[in-house]
């Protein structure tokens, strides 16, 4: 009943994603930006999209609070895994969120670089798979800019069966292999003009402690997370509540080499 009729009548089914999207459109509309209007050059603006998706999450939490009560928020029967992605055709805003102070959210990763290339001549010959099935790709970075940004719930690539000589050859060139970076739990990921920004979602489920650990059992039970030892975790270093994007703190060259060598040893 909190939705304007225009957005309520758009929903044709009963899936949670349909209702969440209707909530997003309604939140955007009530913020003074009509989803029916033409975004114009540059779109609605990434900050507008981000505020609308945060309002959507806030409203979902409010509905749950009305049902279970404040004292039961975050308990087993009230937790929600809310990974969303919205775009106006120019900017993209994604969320990685769980309505709990003790659980990990569903997994979310991103990878950025200057080219997305197939690894040729490095297929496993004894895997029993066809060349098409065994094909592998890698993100390359030739400068500090990013022409490509990929966001996925699970990493789409991994180094498999790569030789030590090939690894050293790549590391000796100006091409940098960019790992998949884990988006922190209860954060937004914004992509605007090929720039990636991370902001914390500061509410009752936010923890300012960077060492705060959350078990992944809830998300794993729902089949919505992956874990691994070689995933880089992005740490937000800006002042909580600030709207300015903070620089990404990524692994240095030594970290990249060490991680690649660990993968070689595993293989």
Q: pLDDT tens digits, residue range 59-86?
A: 999 999 999 998 888 787 889 999 999 9
**Confidence (pLDDT) at 117:** 77
Q: pLDDT tens digits, residue range 197-255?
A: 999 999 999 988 877 889 899 898 888 877 544 444 444 434 334 343 333 333 344 45
**Confidence (pLDDT) at 183:** 92
**Confidence (pLDDT) at 121:** 57
Least confident of 3-7, 130-134, 236-240, 259-263: 236-240
Structure tokens at 9: 């009548």
Specify whether the CB–CB gap between 83 and 95 falls below 8 A: yes
Distance separating alpha carbons of residues 90 and 238, to the nearest angstrom: 25
Q: Mean per-residue pLDDT for 153-169?
A: 58
Distance separating alpha carbons of residues 239 and 199, to the nearest angstrom: 10
**Confidence (pLDDT) at 106:** 94
**What percentage of the chain has pLDDT greater than the value 70?**
69
In eight-state DSSP terms, residue 239 is P
Least confident of 43-57, 92-106, 113-127: 113-127
Confidence of residue 29 (pLDDT cuts 50, 70, 90): very high
Specify whether the CB–CB gap between 90 and 43 falls below 8 A: yes
Q: Mean per-residue pLDDT for 87-107?
A: 94
**Confidence (pLDDT) at 142:** 74
**Confidence (pLDDT) at 158:** 64
**Confidence (pLDDT) at 189:** 96
Confidence of residue 120 (pLDDT cuts 50, 70, 90): low
Structure tokens at 162: 């790569």
Structure tokens at 131: 């060349």
**Confidence (pLDDT) at 137:** 75
């Amino acid at each position: 009943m909190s939705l304007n009729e225009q957005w309520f009548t758009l929903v044709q089914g009963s899936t949670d994603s349909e209702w969440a999207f209707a909530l997003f459109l309604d939140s955007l509309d009530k913020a003074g930006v009509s989803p029916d209007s033409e975004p114009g050059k540059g779109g609605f603006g990434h900050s507008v999209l981000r505020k609308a998706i945060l309002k959507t999450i806030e409203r979902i939490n409010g509905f749950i609070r009305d049902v279970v009560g404040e004292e039961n928020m975050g308990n087993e029967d009230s937790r929600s895994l809310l990974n969303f992605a919205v775009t106006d055709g120019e900017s993209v805003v994604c969320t990685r969120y769980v309505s709990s102070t003790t659980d990990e959210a569903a997994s979310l990763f991103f990878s950025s670089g200057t080219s997305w290339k197939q690894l040729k001549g490095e297929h496993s010959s004894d895997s029993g798979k066809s060349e098409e099935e065994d094909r592998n790709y890698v993100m390359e970075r030739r400068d500090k800019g990013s022409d490509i940004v990929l966001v996925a719930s699970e990493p789409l690539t991994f180094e498999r069966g790569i030789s030590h000589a090939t690894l050293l050859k790549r590391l000796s060139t100006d091409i940098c292999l960019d790992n998949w970076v884990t988006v922190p739990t209860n954060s937004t990921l914004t992509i605007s003009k090929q720039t990636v920004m991370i902001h914390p979602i500061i509410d009752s489920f936010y923890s300012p402690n960077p060492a705060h650990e959350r078990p992944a059992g809830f998300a794993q039970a729902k089949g919505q997370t992956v874990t691994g030892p070689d995933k880089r975790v992005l740490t937000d270093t800006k002042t909580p509540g600030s709207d300015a994007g903070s620089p990404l703190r990524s692994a240095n060259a030594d970290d990249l080499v060490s991680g690649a060598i660990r993968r070689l040893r595993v293989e």
